[in-house]
Amino acid sequence: MNEKQDIGSLFDRISRTYDRLNHLLSLNIDRRWRYRAVSSLAKLAADEQLLDVAVGTADLTLEVLRQGKAQHVVGIDLSEQMMKIGQEKIKKRGYELSVSLKKENAQHMSFADNSFAAVTCAFGVRNFADLDAGLREMTRVLRPGGQMVILEFSYPENKVIAALYDFYFTHILPLIGKMLSHDKTAYTYLNRSVKSFIWGQQMCDKLSEVGLSNVGYKTLTFGIATIYMGEKRG
């Protein structure tokens, strides 16, 4: 079976250590990346909703609320354990009334067409078993003119940075990940999934194909991560 077919269980297994490891392995840069992704969103009106796809432990959702970009967020994910931790964090920060979390597959969501004024996804699309289906669904539920922001790992163009990055991802990160999460496969999966994924213009072409306009991207930290943006064609 394709490992992405069972991605919910993989994230269920590492949910308890996910946040700690994320911040440790990225040397805390992931917080800055989410801050930058959310900064590129326009502020929604009080009666509009934002959908955070692959919400996980809700870090992007919490950043949306912290920056006041939306007053209500719907978060969906396949992993109940990741969302359980997300819910605890939401409660701790007093945002229970501003967020609804739901178990849903991004590739076939139950929401009606044009339901959301904005759709976000941080480090999620790389994990979709069917990327095209996920992007099509994210566009379907976005209202015309609504903004989509995707944050995802990418690959550095500079050869020296790329060599250091390869070394870190192939040797250091899986080792620390295995020691701290006690899961042998999760962090070698991370390495494989990043290296085999598309980035830059190829991703922008896909976003245009599924129905977005004004598509563009900004690379972060030597191209290790990228923010993709677009608007649904009216």
Ligand X SMILES: C[S@@+](CC[C@H](N)C(=O)[O-])C[C@H]1O[C@@H](n2cnc3c(N)ncnc32)[C@H](O)[C@@H]1O
Rank residues 33 and 165 by Cβ distance to ligand X and give the closer one: 33
Q: Which is nearer to ligand X, 20 or 233 (CB)?
A: 20
Interface with ligand X (CB under 6 A), residue from 64, 74, 90, 106: 106
Q: Write down the least CB distance from residue 41 to ligand X, Å.
A: 14
**Phi, psi at 230, each rounded to 5°:** -170, 170
Q: List phi, psi (to 5°) of 128.
A: -65, 135
Q: DSSP letter at 48?
A: -
**Rounded Cα–Cα distance for residues 33 and 24 (Å):** 14
Q: How many CB atoms lie within 10 A of CB 13?
A: 17
The type of residue at 94 is G
Rounded Cα distance between 144 and 159, Å, is 40
Going by C-alpha positions, the residue among 108, 139, 119 that lies closest to residue 234 is 139
- The residue nearest ligand X at its CB is 56
Piece in contact with ligand X (CB under 6 A), picked from 3-11, 91-99, 110-118, 218-226: 3-11
Q: C-beta of 138: minimal distance to ligand X in Å?
A: 10
Decide whether 107 or 170 has the Cβ nearer to ligand X: 107
CA angle 140, 146, 148 (to 5 degrees): 75
Told to check if 123 binds ligand X by CB under 6 A, we report yes
Interface characters, 137-176, with ligand X (x: CB under 6 A): ----------------------------------------
Q: Are strands 212-220 and 225-232 parallel, antiparallel or unpaired?
A: antiparallel
In the bound complex, what is the minimum distance in angstroms from residue 159's beta carbon to ligand X?
A: 27
Contact (CB, 8 A) for 154 and 225: yes
- DSSP-H helix ranges across 67-154: 80-92, 131-140
Instruction: Scan residues 72-101 and list those touching ligand X (CB under 6 A).
Output: 76-79, 82
Q: Which residues inside 7-66 make contact with ligand X, applying CB under 6 A?
A: 7-8, 11, 54-57, 59-60
DSSP-derived pairing of the beta strands 142-153 and 225-232: antiparallel
210 binds ligand X (CB under 6 A): no
Q: Establish if 122 lies at the interface with ligand X (CB under 6 A).
A: yes
- Any contact of residue 225 with ligand X (CB under 6 A)? no
- The residues of the shown chain that bind ligand X, judged by CB under 6 A, are 7-8, 11, 54-57, 59-60, 76-79, 82, 105-107, 122-124, 127-128, 134
